[in-house]
């Protein structure tokens, strides 16, 4: 899943990026409210974490603008303030939740998961496909009960494929949902990760799992050669 963090406090932004990437999220960071609006309307994010007290654009305006652009992803506002009036204003502007600073990582993750569970497109925390079980909360993958050691990006790629079983996913869609904006779109990153994932899942037998659809992308499905 891909997260947009709009946060101007450098230490907090760094903490969020490192912590959320460790939890298998792709994370884009910006300290600029206007740029945050641009990122939010131009890309597909699963959730936005927004500091309400940015120096130029405030949280209310950012929420309103994103909603006016038709963006429906959950927006979690963070703030050093704990004023009822501000909470009401932000929720009325389109925010979905409000978290007062300082907070611990576990508290943030609990709020995020609660919001993500509300999204119709988001699957359960435990996903299954054939004899594969994927635990998104623990970043754990089992096949036939055996643990499969995946990198974070391999895990996120497999998760996205399973969430869209039998759907052909273009390279652009995969990059948009699994990688952040630092990725070189002309690299062979997806191809190399698909190859590695196939090997680790032992996808070499008569029944293939991850299929290349020439000129279109990739999909996961159970088919025999």
Assign residue 24 a region (left: φ > 0; alpha: ψ between -120 and 50; beta: otherwise).
left
Mean residue pLDDT across the chain: 88
Mean pLDDT lowest among 161-165, 191-195, 221-225: 221-225
Mean pLDDT lowest among 95-109, 154-168, 194-208: 194-208
């Amino acid at each position: 899943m891909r997260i947009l963090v709009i946060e101007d406090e450098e230490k907090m932004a760094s903490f969020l990026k490192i912590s959320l990437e460790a939890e298998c999220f792709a994370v884009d960071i910006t300290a600029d409210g206007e740029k945050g609006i641009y990122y939010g309307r131009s890309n597909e994010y699963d959730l936005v974490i927004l500091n309400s007290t940015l120096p130029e654009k405030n949280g209310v305006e950012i929420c309103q603008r994103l909603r006016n652009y038709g963006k429906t992803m959950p927006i979690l506002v963070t703030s050093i303030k704990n004023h009822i009036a501000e909470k009401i204003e932000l929720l009325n502007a389109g925010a979905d939740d409000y978290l007062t600073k300082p907070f611990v990582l576990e508290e943030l993750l609990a709020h995020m998961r609660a919001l993500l569970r509300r999204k119709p497109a988001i699957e359960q925390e435990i996903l299954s496909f054939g004899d594969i079980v994927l635990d998104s909360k623990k970043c754990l993958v089992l096949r036939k009960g055996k643990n499969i050691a995946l990198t974070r990006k391999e895990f996120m790629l497999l998760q996205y494929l399973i969430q869209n079983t039998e759907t052909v996913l273009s390279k652009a869609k995969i990059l948009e949902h699994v990688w952040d904006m630092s990725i070189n779109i002309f690299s062979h990153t997806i191809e190399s990760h698909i190859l590695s994932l196939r090997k680790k899942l032992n996808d070499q037998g008569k029944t293939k799992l991850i299929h290349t659809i020439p000129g279109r992308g990739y999909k996961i499905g159970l088919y025999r050669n």
